[in-house]
Amino acid sequence: MTLPRPETETDNARRGRSQTPLEALLQGLEDSRSSVRLRAAMAAGTSPDPRFVEKLIERCAVEPDFHVRETLTWALTRHPATATVPVLVGEVRSRCAQARSQALHTLSKIGDRRAWPAITGALLADPDDEVARSAWRAAVVLVPEGEEHELAAVLSTQFGRGDRETHLSLSRALVALGDAIAPVLSAATTDPDPRVRAHALATERLSRDPDAVFAYAIEEAKRVVALGETGREGR
């Protein structure tokens, strides 16, 4: 696949000089039409070039269209990790939430564990829910063997956070850690905060039955917690 051509000739083209692949990519990625940006991102992944990496990552931070962002991530996974990972690691420290989130998402897709030191406690507790969710997903992919228990303990501090989708993201991340989550689940199910207890119980159920409908598991866990509160009050 060739890189997208400009819709109108540039001054240089009029003088007989065709665009370089990098120039064509830049023009495509900055087009106002999402379909053109999508084609540019697909072309960058089809014909990888180390010169594209920084531009693709820069675009991830501002791209409004979900499908284009996913294609940007795919294009980056088509480039050597030696070219992408160092730039992405720098991007997770950006002040821009979307830049952090998309960099973490891309690191999780690349799966290069050399990026693990970039997954800090601050990112795992990032105030932006989307960034935190991306950090959780990246963490369970990148965590070194033997450090799953420590990661589970950090993730468990986020029980009860956010909306149902955020709850589900955290639970899925914890379940992916396997047996390492048993101690933190046991502790969280007796936490003083009923939101934490309900979330932990729903996660416990999800770990036993990955096909369970999480929304039902959450509601059932809340009911169990409420019954427990009622029982204590009646004593």
| Full 3-state SS string of 134-163 | HHHHHHHHHCCCCCHHHHHHHHHCCCCCCC
Residue 15's pLDDT is what?
47
184 lies in some domain: yes
12 lies in some domain: no
Gap between the Cα atoms of 203 and 185, Å rounded: 8
Question: Residue 176 sits in which domain range?
Answer: 148-229
15 lies in some domain: no
User: Long-range contacts of range 81-84, CB-CB < 8 Å, 24 or more positions apart?
Assistant: 81/110, 81/112, 81/114, 83/50, 83/53, 84/53, 84/57, 84/110
196 lies in some domain: yes
Q: How many other CB atoms sit within 10 Å of the CB of residue 230? A: 9
pLDDT tens digits, 191-222:
999 999 999 998 998 888 876 655 545 555 55
* CA angle centred on 214, ends 209 and 220, rounded to 5°: 95
Q: In the chain, how many domains are there? A: 1
130 lies in some domain: no
180 lies in some domain: yes
Residue 208's pLDDT is what?
86
Burial of 71 from C-beta contacts in 10 A (0-12 / 13-18 / 19+): buried
Residues 61 and 91: beta-carbon distance below 8 Å? yes
Helices (H), the chain: 11-14, 21-29, 34-46, 53-60, 66-77, 81-91, 97-110, 121-124, 129-142, 148-156, 164-176, 182-188, 194-208, 214-233
pLDDT tens digits, 79-96:
999 999 999 999 999 999
Residues in the chain where the model's pLDDT stays below 70: 1-17, 211-235
123 lies in some domain: no
User: Long-range contacts of range 226-232, CB-CB < 8 Å, 24 or more positions apart?
Assistant: 226/194, 228/197, 229/194
223 lies in some domain: yes
Whole-number Cα distances in Å, 72 to 13, 26, 69, 186 = 27, 13, 5, 40
